[in-house]
Structure 1
Amino acid sequence: MQNLTKEMRTMIEEQFPFLATVDKDGYPKIGPKGSLHVLDSQHLIYYEHTFRHAYSNISANGRVAVAVADRQAQKGFRFEGLAHLHEDDEITERFLPKQILERFNRGAVVIIDIHSVYKLDNTLEAGTRII
Structure 2
Amino acid sequence: MLKTIDDDMRRIVETARLSFVATVCSDGSPNLSPKGSMRVYDDGHIAFMDIASPNTVGNLQHDPRIEVNSIDFLRRRGYRFKGVAEFRDPGDPVYEWLHAWLLDLNGPGYPANRAILVHVERALPILSPAYTFGGAEEGDLRQSWARTYLADLEED
- In which range does the TM-score fall when normalised by the shorter chain? 0.7 to 0.9
Instruction: Give a deviation string over 1:13-58, Cα, whole Å, max 9, x none.
Output: 0002111111011111111111110000110011102241111011
Larger helix fraction of residues: 2
RMSD of the alignment, in Å? 2.2
**Structure 1 residue ranges, 4+ long, deviating more than 6 angstroms after superposition:** none
Return the alpha-carbon distance in structure 2 between the equivalents of residues 115 and 61 of structure 1.
Answer: 16
Unaligned ranges ≥5, structure 1: 125-131
Return the alpha-carbon distance in structure 2 between the equivalents of residues 121 and 67 of structure 1.
Answer: 12
TM-score with structure 1 length normalisation? 0.81
Instruction: Give a deviation string over 1:63-89, Cα, whole Å, max 9, x none.
Output: 000001122322111000000012345
- SS state of the match for residue 65, structure 1? strand
Partner of 2:74: 72
Q: Summarize the Cα distance change of 1:22–1:97 in structure 2 as closer, same or farther, 3 Å threshold.
A: same
Note the C-alpha offset of 1:11: 0.2
Unaligned ranges ≥5, structure 2: 133-156
Return the alpha-carbon distance in structure 2 between the equivalents of residues 85 and 52 of structure 1.
Answer: 13
Note the C-alpha offset of 1:114: 0.2
Return the alpha-carbon distance in structure 2 between the equivalents of residues 72 and 54 of structure 1.
Answer: 27
Number of residues of Structure 1 aligned to a counterpart in Structure 2: 123
Structure showing greater radius of gyration is: 2
Matched to 1:84, the amino acid is: E
* Identity in percent: 22
Matched to 1:61, the amino acid is: D
